Amino acid sequence: MSAHSTLDYLISPGGTLQGRIRVPGDKSISHRALMLGAIAEGQTRIEGFLQGEDTLATMAAFHAMGVEIDYQDERVTINGVGLHGLKAPKIPLDLGNSGTATRLLAGLLAGQSFDAEITGDASLRRRPMRRIVDPLQQMGADITCSEQGTLPLTIHGGQGLRAIDYALPVASAQLKSSLLLAGLYASGTTCITEPAVTRDHTERMLREFGCELQRKRNRICIRGGSQIKACHVHVPADISSAAFFLVGASIATGSDLILERVGINPTRDAIIPILQQMGADISLANQQVVSGEPVADIRVRSASLHGIDIPQDKVAIAIDEFPAIMIAAACARGRTRLHGASELRIKESDRIQAIASGLEVLGIDVRTHEDGMEVRGGVVSGGTVDSFTDHRIAMAFSMAGLAASGPVHILNCGNVATSFPGFPNLASAAGLQISISGESHGG
Distance of CA 22 to the CA centre of its chain: 17
Q: What single string gives the DSSP state of each residue in 113-145? A: SS-EEEE--TTGGGS--HHHHHHHHHTT-EEE-
Query: Active-site residue 26, yes or no?
Result: no
CA distance 15 to 403: 8
- Using alpha carbons, select from 389, 434, 426 the residue that is nearest to residue 408: 434
**With helix as H, strand as E and coil as C, how does 39-90 read?**
CCEEEEEEECCCCCHHHHHHHHHHHHCCCEEEEECCEEEEEEECCCCCCCCC
Residue type at 387 in one-letter notation: S
CA distance 308 to 24: 30
Residue type at 104 in one-letter notation: L
List of E strands, 339-407: 365-369, 372-376, 383-386
Side-chain-side CA neighbours of 116 within 13 Å: the count stands at: 27
CA distance 10 to 417: 17
Cis peptide before 152 (omega within 30 of 0): yes
Residue of 26, 94, 320, 390 marked active site: 320
CA distance 95 to 407: 35
CA distance 226 to 208: 13
CA distance 318 to 238: 13
Catalytic amino acids? 320
